[in-house]
Structure formats: structure tokens, C-alpha cells
Amino acid sequence: MRRVVVTGLGMINSVGQDKESSFSAILNGECGIKKIELFDAEKFSVKIAGEIIGFDPSEVMDAKEVKKADRFIHLGLKASKEAIIDANIGESVDRERFGISSASGIGGLPNIEKNSVVCETRGPRRISPFFIPSSLVNMLGGFVSIEHGIKGPNLSSVTACAAGTHAIAEASKTIMLDGADVMLVVGAESAICGAGIGGFASMKALSTNNENPKESSRPFDADRNGFVMGEGAGALVLEEYEHAVARGAKIYAEVVGFGESGDANHITTPVVDGPLRAMKAAMRMAGDVKVDYINAHGTSTPANDKNETAAVKELFGGAENCPPMSSIKGQIGHCLGAAGAIEAVVSLMAMRDGKLPPTINYTTKDENCDLDYVSNGVRDAELNVVMSNSFGFGGTNGVVIFKKI
């Protein structure tokens, strides 16, 4: 089986518009959650989100073309461009052996909402001709592949909050099975609109701490009361090891394990068993490795944080054997289908710099959440192996393990 390494990274979220500024802000415990500006949320029970402020899509698309793509595609183009530049992918890379694995949980929900209103109020003839191609999840991969001349496999994962992690696994499988030499992974999401916020709020999934937005996302804390919607994109260039070495690429880490599972339990309520089996599968594939850090799914919901903690304790044989684990969702919110890609980028940068990102807003201990959540600020640590977890609605789970070379 061919080896897969990571040679490029890119990221945009509510605390930074590139990987370095984002990672620095995350390490510093900065929070990008604030009052919603993308739409008028005054009548909504939830009025806060992790929005990206000041992003100009004309940075990555011709201004005349911007309206042809939804915001999640704009964000994906931004992160993808950074990752490709970081990997130094030049014209010498065979474009027919260069593929893409994209991911989003919902895709162009703002455009779906907008054109549904147009259809109802102004009639079907007034629907934008760009509506469908701007909204489909796989058009993220379509737009990015056209922009960068990527002619290899063009894949797409639409598995709720596990989509970004599943996209990494799909890209890795493609390279391992000789379907490509290089794969760009990009996960992007921007569902901060009336339908998105209203829909999740109606499920009682979101925090309603509108008065204190920066303290609203509280992973593993006893006072957590729901997740906060975020938006953003993460991108990784995956490459066959010998191919990367031959062109002198810098290597962040090797993908040594990934695992996938289904809960088969409930459409929205998570369990311990599904995430545990996904982590076990990733560990079996990785072989004899010692995990130094876990980037948790850590949504700040009562059920997820308790269950993820229980699954990690069972995996490692008790709390005393568990590595440090933290969640960055307190800083940037939950970016849904982009979360796995963004969190993989953060995990790899943590490995690069030897810095554990903190879990902010953890102030009150929950007896069911009793692990080391790096709650006292950024911590120095030697990281040789890191695990990143993603669990989604429908009971879909994804885990990936990276190892320093």
C-alpha cells in the first residue's frame, strides 16, 4: 500500500483568513463568535455565530463571477489556494494524476433559501440560472478543480459534521490505491442564514447565550448548552510519499490511520459505541503508535462531549492513560462539514510547532467530562502522533491519525 503524506495546508475561519493568523489566534484563545451580521437575526432565538468578517470573495474569483458561486465555495477557493501555494504545486505536477476530495455538510444553503423565497414571491421564472450550480456540494470541487486545472479524481463527501474528515480518508484511499499521486482535500461551509440558524435552533442544538457570545461555546464545561454555528474552510494537499520526496516537498506528517463507522441509533442523538469503533479502526490501521494529542469533536453539546469523553476513556483504558484532548470550537464555533478539515489543519500545525491549542471557556467541571482538556491556555508539547475526531448527524463518524516523519 502506498504511503500518504501531507505537503500543504490552508485555512480560513472567524479568527483568521489564513492558516498562520488563524492558528496564532486559536493558540491565544481568541474568539470569533459575535452577533450575526450576515442576516437580520433579531427575531431569532439565536443571534450569534462565528462569522468571517471582512472577507472579499473577489480575492479568489473575478468580481463578475462571484455571484455564480455560494459563499461556501468562495471560502473553499481561499483555503485551497493557500494549501496549493504552501505545497508548491507547480506545472511539473501531472494534472491527470492530481485529484480533489471536497466536503460540505449542507452546501449552498443561503442560496437555496434565497431562491426559494424568489420562487414563492416572484415566480419560478425569476430564479437565478446560477442557483443550482452555486449550491450543489460537489460544485466546491468543481470550481476549485477548474481554477487549478485539477484533472484527476473529483470526489465529494456530504456526511454532515464528519464530511471534512471523510474527505481526508477518501483522498488517502485514492492515493494508496494508485488512483492519483496528489489529492487536494477541501472542506467548506457557510450556513449562517435564516434557514440554517432557525433550523438548528428549532432542534435546540444551538447555544442561546446571546448576551455573552464569546462565552457561549463551552466544550466539556458543565454549563455548556449547545453549539455555536461557525463558517470557514480547511484545505490539505495529500501526496504519495515517494512523489513528495522526489520533488523536494516539505512534509508535515504522514496519514497513518483513519476509521469510519455508523451509530445505527438515532438521527441526531450520538452514542459512545459509534465514535469508539471509528477510533479503534483508525488505531488498528495506524499500528503501534502512541497518540500524543487528540483534537476533539468537542461540540459543546451535553450529549457529544460526555459521549466523546467516555469513548476516549474506553479506547485508552481509563482517564489516567488518555492523552491531552482539546476542542477549538470555543474559538471558531462549529463549522459543520468544514470542521474536520479545519481541525486536521490545526492538528498538523500543533504538531509542527509543538503547541497544544487550548479549550477555552472551560471553567466548571462536569463529572462526566474528566480528562485533560488543555483548559489553562496553550501548552508546549512534543507531538509525534495526533488524532482528530469528527462525528455527525445520522450517526456518521470519522477519525484520522497523523504521524510525524
**Is residue 227 very low, low, confident or very high in pLDDT (cuts 50, 70, 90)?**
very high
Helix axes 194-202, 109-122, angle to 10 degrees: 110
Query: What single letter denotes the amino acid at residue 120?
Result: E
Task: Read off the pLDDT of residues 9-36 as tens digits, 9 standing for 90 and up.
Answer: 999 999 999 999 999 999 999 999 999 9
Evaluate whether 325 touches 293 at the Cβ level (below 8 Å): yes
pLDDT for the residue numbered 33: 98
d(CA 230, CA 218): 14
Q: What is the mean pLDDT of residues 186-196?
A: 98
Query: DSSP characters for 123-136?
Result: -GGGS-TTHHHHH-
Task: Tell me the sheet residues that pair with 89.
Answer: none
pLDDT for the residue numbered 272: 96
- Classify 153 as helix, strand or coil: coil
Residue 297 is a catalytic residue: yes
Average pLDDT of the chain?
97
pLDDT for the residue numbered 327: 98
Burial class (CB in 10 A: 0-12, 13-18, 19+), 244: buried
Task: Read off the pLDDT of residues 311-335 as tens digits, 9 standing for 90 and up.
Answer: 999 999 999 999 999 999 999 999 9
Residue 119 is a catalytic residue: no
Q: Which of 31, 161, 322, 369 is catalytic?
A: 161
Evaluate whether 323 touches 260 at the Cβ level (below 8 Å): no
List the chain domain ranges.
10-405
**Is residue 270 very low, low, confident or very high in pLDDT (cuts 50, 70, 90)?**
confident
Helix locations, 191-301, DSSP H: 194-202, 241-246, 273-286
Cα separations in angstroms, 84 against 69, 88, 143, 150: 20, 6, 15, 11
Task: Read off the pLDDT of residues 31-68 as tens digits, 9 standing for 90 and up.
Answer: 999 999 999 999 999 999 999 999 999 999 999 999 99
**Is residue 265 very low, low, confident or very high in pLDDT (cuts 50, 70, 90)?**
very high
Residue 334 is a catalytic residue: yes
Query: DSSP characters for 297-353?
Result: ---S-HHHHHHHHHHHHHHHTSGGGPPPEE-SHHHH-B-GGGHHHHHHHHHHHHHHH
Q: Which of 166, 334, 335, 369 is catalytic?
A: 334
Q: Which of 31, 166, 297, 322 is catalytic?
A: 297
Residue 96 has pLDDT above 90, yes or no: yes
**Is residue 269 very low, low, confident or very high in pLDDT (cuts 50, 70, 90)?**
confident
- Bridge pairing between strands 253-262 and 396-403: antiparallel
pLDDT for the residue numbered 1: 86
pLDDT for the residue numbered 288: 87
Sign of CA dihedral 133, 137, 140, 141: negative
Q: How many residues belong to the chain?
A: 405
Looking at the domain that runs over 10-405, which CATH code has it been given? Answer: 3.40.47.10
Task: Read off the pLDDT of residues 272-324 as tens digits, 9 standing for 90 and up.
Answer: 999 999 999 999 999 989 999 999 999 999 999 999 999 999 999 999 999 99
